[in-house]
């Protein structure tokens, strides 16, 4: 399947849609704030079990798009959403289903870690408890499993009861990832998750992502071009609230079509 659209006069873009079927289908999504038209007519499918990278300069609407996906936009009264976002066939913008259940389908990593004000153990157990899982044995097993999944278990197994804030910031971010995984999401949303981390911790998170894509769909917002090149399977390039180009990573990076993307890749920011 080939989609064609015109971006600027003379710029015709041809993009092949990835092999995996989309898990999220966004159609005609428009987001307005009081003063601005933040997202303009977004139509895109997010492929399942791939790492999709939302790439673009600051202020282009990447984060807003990400937060639409689990309706964290609800926190802002001045944002108005139009269009539809289908996840598993459910239009989450108009569904009557419980929003908390929809959000549990998605883990979230933010620009810096926000551990819950409780122990390392409870940070992971919290999501399970509010889901209704209270059996201590099961909770304990899951805590261990997910801490191992993010390679944090060996570092914290002797101090599970100490506060999550006593961890280093890189460890905290991995804890936040484990906490998200514990509620068994299908999708992981990450908003520049390495921007507060040192290069080594950043690489650890990237490695995690590469391993997680076998079981999860990952959507990563970043403005670090090298990071995108390292881990992206599928790239959506945004500029001023619009999707300018999208396609498999190799096509986007090796054969950009629009002048904006070419310029962006050349400057490498």
Provide the minimum distance between the beta carbon of 196 and other proteins in the complex, in angstroms, as a whole number: 11
Least Cα distance to 73 among 35, 22, 38, 114 occurs for: 38
| Extended beta strands in the chain, E state | 2-6, 12-16, 22-32, 37-47, 51-55, 80-87, 90-91, 106-109, 187-191, 217-222, 234-239, 242-248
- For other proteins, the binding residues in 173-202 under the rule CB under 8 A are 176, 179-180, 183, 189
Shortest distance, CB of residue 80 to other proteins, whole angstroms? 12
Q: 234 with 18: CB under 8 angstroms? A: yes
Q: Is 252 exposed, middle or buried (0-12, 13-18, 19+ CB in 10 A)?
A: buried
Task: Name the minimum Å distance from CB 248 to other proteins.
Answer: 28
Interatomic CA distance for residues 65 and 5, integer angstroms: 20
Residue 134 within binding range of other proteins, rule CB under 8 A:
no
User: Is residue 131 within the footprint of other proteins (CB under 8 A)?
Assistant: yes
d(CA 130, CA 256): 46
Return the number of the residue (20 or 195) whose C-beta is nearest other proteins: 195
Residues in the interface with other proteins (CB under 8 A) total: 34
Stretch of 26-34, 112-120, 234-242, 258-266 lying at the interface with other proteins (CB under 8 A)? 112-120
Nearer to other proteins, 172 or 222 (CB): 172
For residue 178, the number of C-alpha atoms closer than 13 Å in the C-beta half-sphere is 29
User: Phi and psi (nearest 5°) for 259?
Assistant: -65, -35
CA distance linking residue 127 with residue 124, whole number of Å: 6
* Residue 106 within binding range of other proteins, rule CB under 8 A: yes
Among 116, 133, 151, 224, binds other proteins (CB under 8 A): 116
**Could you tell me which stretch among 26-34, 43-51, 139-147, 161-169 binds other proteins (CB under 8 A)?**
161-169
Q: Does residue 107 interact with other proteins by CB under 8 A?
A: yes
Instruction: List interacting residues with other proteins (CB under 8 A).
Output: 67, 70, 72, 74-78, 100-101, 103-104, 106-108, 110-112, 114, 116-118, 126-127, 130-131, 163, 165-166, 176, 179-180, 183, 189
């Amino acid at each position: 399947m080939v989609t064609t659209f015109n971006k600027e006069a003379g710029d015709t873009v041809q993009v092949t849609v990835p092999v995996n079927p989309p898990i999220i289908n966004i159609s005609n999504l428009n987001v307005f704030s009081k003063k601005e038209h933040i997202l303009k007519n977004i139509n895109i499918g997010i492929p399942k079990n791939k790492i999709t990278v939302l790439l673009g300069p600051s202020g282009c609407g990447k984060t807003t798009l990400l937060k639409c996906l689990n309706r964290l936009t609800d926190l802002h009264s001045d944002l108005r959403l139009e269009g539809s976002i289908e996840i598993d066939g459910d239009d989450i913008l108009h569904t009557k289903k419980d929003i908390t259940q929809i959000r549990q389908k998605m883990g979230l990593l933010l620009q810096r870690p926000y551990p819950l004000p409780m122990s390392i153990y409870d940070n992971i157990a919290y999501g399970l408890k509010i889901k209704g899982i209270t059996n201590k044995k099961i909770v304990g097993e899951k805590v261990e499993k997910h801490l191992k999944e993010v390679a944090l278990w060996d570092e914290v197994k002797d101090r599970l009861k100490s506060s999550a804030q006593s961890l280093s910031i890189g460890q905290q971010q991995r804890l936040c990832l484990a906490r998200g995984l514990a509620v068994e999401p299908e999708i992981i949303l990450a908003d520049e998750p390495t921007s507060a981390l040192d290069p080594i911790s950043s690489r650890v998170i990237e490695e995690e992502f590469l391993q997680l894509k076998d079981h999860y769909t990952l959507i990563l917002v970043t403005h670090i071009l090298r990071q995108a090149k390292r881990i992206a399977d599928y790239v959506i390039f945004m500029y001023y609230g619009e999707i300018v180009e999208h396609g498999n990573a190799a096509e986007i990076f090796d054969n950009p079509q629009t002048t904006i993307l070419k310029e962006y890749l050349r400057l490498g920011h």
